[in-house]
């Protein structure tokens, strides 16, 4: 409930089955909290590190560390 994500998505992140977008940066095709397969992430990573890349600020995570980042962004005062 706190993350506004289905439990299944949270499980996919925790069990290292899916990556999650923590910051889409300037990528038009990525959305905050979007789940990515490993193949999707590798394709994006290749684009980020290519010499002519225009992508900046993209952050993706997996596992408990990614969930911690998502939870740290929640404003509990609201």
Task: Read off the pLDDT of each residue in 28-53 and give the average, rounded to a whole number.
Answer: 95
Q: How confident is the model at residue 76 (pLDDT cuts 50, 70, 90)?
A: confident
* pLDDT value for 74: 87
* pLDDT value for 1: 63
Task: Read off the pLDDT of each residue in 36-61 and give the average, rounded to a whole number.
Answer: 94
pLDDT at 21 over 70: yes
Tell which residue, 17, 47, 50, has the closest CA to residue 35: 17
Rounded to whole angstroms, how far apart are CA atoms 49 and 74? 30
């Amino acid at each position: 409930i706190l993350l506004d994500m289905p439990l299944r998505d949270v499980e996919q992140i925790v069990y290292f089955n899916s990556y999650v977008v923590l910051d889409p940066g300037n990528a038009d095709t990525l959305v905050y909290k979007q789940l990515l397969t490993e193949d999707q992430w590798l394709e994006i990573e290749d684009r980020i590190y290519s010499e002519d890349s225009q992508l900046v600020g993209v952050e993706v995570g997996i596992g408990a560390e990614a969930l911690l980042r998502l939870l740290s962004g929640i404003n509990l005062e609201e």
